[in-house]
Chains A and B, each alone.
Chain A
Amino acid sequence: MSKKYWETLPQGSVVLEAGSSAKFKTGGWRSMRPKWIEENCIQCMFCWMYCPDMSVKVTAEGKRAEFDYDYCKGCGICALECPGKKGKKAIVMEEEGK
């Protein structure tokens, strides 16, 4: 007899596949979207450091790259911390879907 679905679950809800949370795209929770304005960016990497997720990508050369919108939840911390250039922010938050 084939097992019922609940009989196939791993004991104690242990997740046996390492790193499987990458499959769970949490970017869909976002209502505000950070936008990177590259010309104002001074490459200080504050955004990368402050992001509570890992949603600020970095190039192989260690430079600031685009946001990872698959996981960015739009918390706005990067935009708040971004010093920008000459008073102009390099990250601004925009309403999702606008």
Chain B
Amino acid sequence: MGTIVAVTGNEACAQALKQINPDVCAAYPITPATDLMQRFSSFVNDGKVDTELVLVESEHSAMSACIGAAAAGGRVATATSSQGLALMWEMLHIAAGTRLPIVMPLVNRALSAPLNIHGDHSDGMGARDTGWIQLYSENAQEAYDNTVQAFRIAEHLDIRLPAMVCMDGFIVSHSIERVEYIDDGDVKKFVGKFKTVHPLLDLDNPKSYGPLILTDMYHEYKRAQHEVMTKVPGVVLDVAADFEKMTGRKYSLFETYRLDDAEMAIVVMSSAAGTTKDIIDQYRDRGVKIGLLKPRMFRPFPFQEIADALNHVKAIAVLDRADSFGSYGPLFSEITGAVMSMKSKPAVINKIFGLGGRDYLPVQAEQVIDELIQVAETGKVEAIKEYIGVRE
């Protein structure tokens, strides 16, 4: 069952798209996602998929074409990064508000200025309020697995929302790792046949997409959109359970590592979680009770579940690979939102790290844990938000 390969994150996601064989992909190249769609376009060229590949003149057009194709009644995918996602911005809201289950690997990259092509979460975090489901991946295996699962989640008849599958630019997208591919037939069976909802191409039942809705009903449509998001966690867990049956690989709304008996926790997403786990092991060997929580689903954000998982710790460090200038890091704001509902109010600190692809080094994780030990002992927080790994 399955095939073990040595591939990059981009290659793995392209493979997932090949196995799913979407009806339409509209894409525009942007580093570091270029290579993903380039590989996929080879599959199209070589007749390995039946996908209609639409080569457009910008990401705005890419998402517009995806919206059109999804409204027409197709299974649709694309991929992008950074400025490309930024250029899609208005269309992202339209895809979500129109409830179109488009799946989009997002290879996370910093936003300009200054111009930078390397990995951080500024792009994904900037799109957190667009109404898309967001899954973040630690490595190539997770990026591949999340892509396969994203189709089932997005297309679920109770959901019908677009989904982004995020992975760190270059660190994951361009590094070769061991990945276990699922057999083609199993992927096909897992995602199932695409079911249409109100397809425009059903010419016997003409309909209109994108109406003007003003003060009389807009508020109600947004209320309904909020309601749909509340159903997403249940579907994500159901899909994960089926996925585990097929592959043995376990997924949830978030991952915990040595957290059950921990007195302190680090919350961090994506590739930096791997490094952090190694350092946690070293501190555990010295008897320090530290654990990790790695959110997988950032939108919708599982506040209650995360609050339950962190309820017993005294101090939390939230590591953000993006900044909300003039505020805290975006992940920190969510975690403190979760802390609100806890009886025990742990101290929470925020570290901004790794912007523009700056390496997240073991020594940074060590500094954070050393500070957490102090905070847990004294209950005192010197600075809530701080940049780490800054050249001084």
Q: Which residues of A contact B (CB under 8 A)?
A: 5-7, 9-21
| Contact B206 A13, beta carbon cutoff 8 Å | no
Shortest 5 CB-CB contacts between residues of A and residues of B = A12-B99, A18-B206, A6-B220, A15-B208, A12-B98
Q: Which residues of B contact A (CB under 8 A)?
A: 97-100, 160, 197-198, 205-211, 213, 217, 220-221, 223-224, 227
| Contact B221 A15, beta carbon cutoff 8 Å | no
Given contacts A15-B207, A15-B208, A18-B206, whether A10 and B217 have CB atoms under 8 Å apart is no
In the bound complex, how far is the Cα of B98 from the Cα of A16, in angstroms?
Answer: 13
| Contact B208 A12, beta carbon cutoff 8 Å | no
| Contact B213 A14, beta carbon cutoff 8 Å | no
Given contacts A14-B209, A18-B206, whether A9 and B198 have CB atoms under 8 Å apart is no
| Contact A6 B207, beta carbon cutoff 8 Å | no
| Contact B207 A14, beta carbon cutoff 8 Å | yes
| Contact B221 A14, beta carbon cutoff 8 Å | no
In the bound complex, how far is the Cα of B210 from the Cα of A17, in angstroms?
Answer: 13
* A-B contact sample (13 more), CB < 8 A, given A13-B98, A15-B209, A18-B206: A5-B220, A6-B221, A9-B221, A12-B98, A12-B160, A13-B209, A13-B213, A15-B207, A15-B208, A16-B198, A17-B207, A18-B207, A19-B206
Given contacts A18-B206, A18-B207, whether A13 and B198 have CB atoms under 8 Å apart is no
| Contact A9 B224, beta carbon cutoff 8 Å | yes
Q: Which residue of A lies closest to B96 (CB)?
A: A12
In the bound complex, how far is the Cα of B205 from the Cα of A12, in angstroms?
Answer: 16
Q: Residues of B contacting A10 with CB < 8 Å?
A: 198
Q: Residues of B contacting A6 with CB < 8 Å?
A: 220-221, 223-224, 227
| Least distance between A29 CB and chain B CB atoms (Å) | 13
| Least distance between B133 CB and chain A CB atoms (Å) | 15
| Contact B99 A11, beta carbon cutoff 8 Å | yes
Partner among A12, A15, A16 whose Cβ is within 8 Å of the Cβ of B100: A12
| Least distance between B98 CB and chain A CB atoms (Å) | 4
| Contact A11 B160, beta carbon cutoff 8 Å | yes
Q: Residues of A contacting B209 with CB < 8 Å?
A: 12-15
| Contact A14 B224, beta carbon cutoff 8 Å | no
Q: Which residue of B lies closest to A6 (CB)?
A: B220
Given contacts A5-B220, A6-B221, A7-B224, whether A12 and B198 have CB atoms under 8 Å apart is yes
Q: Residues of A contacting B223 with CB < 8 Å?
A: 6
Q: Which residue of B lies closest to A18 (CB)?
A: B206
| Least distance between A13 CB and chain B CB atoms (Å) | 6
| Least distance between A94 CB and chain B CB atoms (Å) | 29
In the bound complex, how far is the Cα of B227 from the Cα of A18, in angstroms?
Answer: 27
| Least distance between B58 CB and chain A CB atoms (Å) | 24
